[in-house]
Amino acid sequence: MKGRWARFVCALGEAIGTAAWSLGFRRRVALDGLRRAFPDRPETELRAIARAAYRQLGRSLAELAVSRQVTDAELDRLVRFDGWDRYEAARALGRGVVVAVAHFGNWELLARACARRGVPLTAITRTLRGRLNQRLLAARRQGGLRELPDKGSTRAALRLLRRGETLAVIVDQNMRPSRGVFVDFFGTPACTTPAAAVLALRSGAPLIAAFPVRQADGTHRVLVEGPFSPPKGARGHSAAVALTQEITRAVERVVREHPDHWFWVHRRWKTRPEGGRALPGRDNP
């Protein structure tokens, strides 16, 4: 983003992220997650990754505010797609497209960039409360993102796909056992939504994934991967679980490559399998 004001706002966002880390905002959660994901890395490295993740999150929120003022041409320069042809090929089939997204990089800017390309997204999202979240929701709507609730929206989602539209599903949030399936994530079972897999299988829509990666010059390169498919012969629940595992592997791969891009302040492994226990916290500020 160009302009003195934009640079100031983004720098301020990074500073706020750094302050949140310094003040200990969910620091224990972030470090516990990093230790679980990268048990062989030294503590100093994990703390450096966590601090960078807080800065990245702060800058991403600042970018979202500034992006309201950018032109279509500026947004095209800011957000580039690597593999857009994969999406175009999937959409050309006429069965809609399911896009798996994660709390990775500037995921909020992704929907705005897609809308500017003439591809408005509808996302299945959790209900957010609070004044700050209301501002975030307003920014999403202003950027062209439509939302469906994460409960009771299966029929609406299937209708949307059958009209040939694009549905985004966040696939890296912890779920309750009644609403998720356990798949491997960094070597540990993680309760994961099967919604992306189930909706793709039921509708016949291709399932792809999109991960925005921040570049050194401040722009974003969106990696479009897929389409993903379950193993041949898999049916029903086993197919949904296998497909959910494939998507989760894709999330893990990009997080390993860019660990500072992920939302470590979320308790991803909070739900444990029956008889399992969460790792004890070990924060040493």
- In total, how many domains does the chain have? 1
Instruction: Establish whether the linkage from the previous residue to 227 is cis, with ω within 30° of 0.
Output: yes
Alpha helices in 79-122 (DSSP H): 84-92, 107-116
User: Exposure of 232 by Cβ count < 10 A (0-12 exposed, 13-18 middle, 19+ buried)?
Assistant: exposed
Q: What's the rounded Cα separation, in Å, for the pair 10 and 64? A: 10
Q: Does the residue 182 lie in any domain? A: yes
- Which sign does the torsion angle of CA 6, 7, 8, 14 carry? positive
pLDDT tens track, the chain, 285 positions: 556 767 888 899 999 999 999 999 999 999 999 999 999 999 999 999 999 999 999 999 898 878 777 787 888 888 999 999 999 999 999 999 999 999 999 987 888 888 888 887 888 876 655 555 455 555 555 556 778 887 888 999 999 999 999 999 999 999 999 999 999 999 999 999 999 999 999 999 999 999 999 999 889 999 999 999 999 889 999 999 999 999 999 999 999 999 999 999 999 999 999 854 443 333 332
Q: Does the residue 61 lie in any domain? A: no
Q: Does the residue 267 lie in any domain? A: no
Residue 279's nearest CA partner among 52, 31, 5 is 31
DSSP class of 262: B
Neighbours of 124 (CB within 10 A): 22
Q: Please, which residues have CB within 8 angstroms of residue 124's CB and are 6 or more apart in sequence? A: 147, 148, 149, 150, 153, 157, 167, 168, 169, 170, 195
Q: Are strands 166-170 and 97-101 parallel, antiparallel or unpaired?
A: parallel
pTM of the shown model: 0.89
Q: Does the residue 237 lie in any domain? A: yes
Q: Does the residue 9 lie in any domain? A: no
Domain limits at 103?
A: 79-261
Q: Which helix (H) or strand (E) holds 224?
A: strand 220-228
Q: Does the residue 217 lie in any domain? A: yes
Q: Does the residue 73 lie in any domain? A: no
Q: What's residue 252's pLDDT?
A: 98
DSSP class of 266: S
Q: Does the residue 58 lie in any domain? A: no
